[in-house]
Homo-oligomer: A and B are copies of this chain.
Amino acid sequence: MMLEPGATIGILGGGQLGRMLAVAASRLGLMAHVFDPDPLAPAGQIAHLTTAGYDDLAALRAFAASVDAITYEFENIPTTALDALEATRAIHPNRRALATSQDRITEKDFLRGLGLQTAPYAAVNSLADLEAALVQIGAPAILKTTRLGYDGKGQARIMSAAEAPAAWAMMQGAPAVLEGFVTFTHEVSVIAARGQDGAVACYDPGENVHQAGILRTTTVPARLSAGQRTDAVLIAARILNALDYVGVMGVELFVTAQGLIVNEIAPRVHNSGHWTQNGCAVDQFEQHIRAVAGWPLGDGGRHSDVVMENLIGDDMARLPAIRQERNAAIHLYGKAAVRAGRKMGHVNRVVTAARS
């Protein structure tokens, strides 16, 4: 089904990703209708906003009835909400992609099933499980709840077996997974898109630097050999095809001496793809909307080198200096309250010289 101009895209979640998706929809002549429990959701400044909880099935049904297709900016959507929506309207990316990425063990089983490399992992549902897993995988390792946390929440590093009880206690009884550490030189991500016609288009891989579990910068092009670059794109394409995926996905990869190891996948537009706004003719947000609307994918070729820097919390104090930079494209999210760790915006520094 191809949506025509004037049709409405429903977006679950009105944070910065929902906001930038809504802008992309408007650029294509589509309307955006955003659903978010927060009346101050940033996307509400530029799109119609329904303010209701994800447990408000009546509001969800009214929302579904008012839109022509549904997508989302985050993957922790309750199953009951998805059931209520999907009774009326198609959801892209699909339920299988959501279910796969919502559970770390399901995700890793899926990736291994495709013949891809992941970090060593083991399910942990008790302290005894954890102790056995530590023998198998070794320390240091990291214990995580299997259901998604966000930006490093719900995780415990284990440096030695003696720390197992404290780490297990932090899980508060939730099902968990122990992941072995991977020795990697750097992390890259591939922002990949797949259309309803099955066509796949990948953006050039970006190189990511995190700090305290939050993405700080993405640099494009990433440090990769030609062979690694090809591998990265093929891995992403294999994942999207296996899920019969529609939309944009972020695929995080560790670069190691043993090849590329899949860290995690996110079934949505991704912070590490923000560079595409100033590096490509069609950015990740517009590509995602094109896919959700049933349009053919657009041109994701890279015309410029870009370094994307997140503006987090007090980074906003540097805004006056950043405004003075000639090559800095500024993207702010319309959030009034600055809080530590809160993503307030980002800057794309275009580092390629202009043509003459």
Chain A 121-147 interface 0/1 with B at a Cβ cutoff of 8 Å (1 = within): 000000000000000000000000000
Q: Show 5 A/B contacts (Cβ-Cβ < 8 Å), sorted by A.
A: A5-B316, A278-B281, A286-B329, A296-B324, A299-B327
Q: Are A332 and B45 in contact (CB under 8 A)?
A: no
Asked if A26 is at the interface of the complex by the 8 Å CB criterion, the answer is yes
Counting chain B CB atoms within 10 Å of each CB, the highest count among A27, A282, A324 belongs to: A27
Check B27–A26 contact: CB distance below 8 A. Answer: no
Q: Choose one: B316, B331, B355; the contact of A305 (CB below 8 Å).
A: B355
Kindly supply a per-residue 1/0 record for chain A positions 286-303, scoring 1 wherever the CB is within 8 Å of any chain B CB and 0 otherwise.
100000000110110111
Nearest CB of chain B from residue A327's CB, rounded to whole Å: 5
Bound CA span A328–B295, Å: 13
The answer, yes or no, to whether A304 is at the interface (CB within 8 Å) is: yes
Given contacts A304-B281, A305-B355, A350-B281, contact A6 B296 (CB under 8 A): no
5 A-B pairs besides A19-B26, A31-B334 with CB distance below 8 A are A27-B330, A281-B350, A295-B323, A301-B353, A301-B354
- Interface residues of A toward B: which range? 35 or more
Q: Quick check: A327 and B28 within 8 Å, CB to CB?
A: no
CB A345 to nearest CB in B, in angstroms, measures 6
A298 interface neighbour in B282, B329, B333, B353, Cβ under 8 Å:
B329
**A28 touching B304, Cβ below 8 Å:** no
- Judge whether A87 is part of the interface by a CB distance below 8 angstroms: no
How many Å from the CB of A30 to the closest CB on chain B?
A: 8
Q: Does A336 contact B (CB under 8 A)?
A: yes
The answer to whether B31 touches A27 (Cβ under 8 A) is no
In chain A, residues 245-302, which have Cβ atoms closer than 8 Å to a Cβ of chain B? 278, 281-282, 286, 295-296, 298-299, 301-302
